[in-house]
Amino acid sequence: MSTRTQIWIMGTTAIVTGVQAAIWLTRVPPLWPVIVLGALTVLNTAGVVAAVVDDRRDRRRRSGSAANL
């Protein structure tokens, strides 16, 4: 699976879990599902950011090594 595919999957999951958490906030307690969904949203968002940074670093490394040939 490519990095871009992983970024799209994690990004979509982050958006969906964020929307689910917002929907749960409008309901009556218990609030534990909101906490769980919010944590999943944060983890997926962090994964997207890490994947984007890693992808950019990898591209820079590849372009730098190609220039050294």
Q: Average pLDDT of the chain?
A: 84
- Per-residue pLDDT of 24-44, as tens digits, reads 888 877 888 888 888 988 998
The residue ranking higher by pLDDT, 17 or 69, is 17
Closest listed residue to residue 19, CA positions, set 37, 1, 44, 45: 37
Counting the structural domains of the chain, the total is 1
In this predicted structure, the answer to whether residue 56 has a pLDDT above a threshold of 60 is: yes
The proportion of the chain whose per-residue pLDDT surpasses 90, expressed as a percent, equals: 6
In this predicted structure, the answer to whether residue 8 has a pLDDT above a threshold of 80 is: yes
Closest listed residue to residue 32, CA positions, set 23, 21, 19: 21
Burial class (CB in 10 A: 0-12, 13-18, 19+), 34: middle
pTM: 0.71
Range of the domain at 7: 3-67
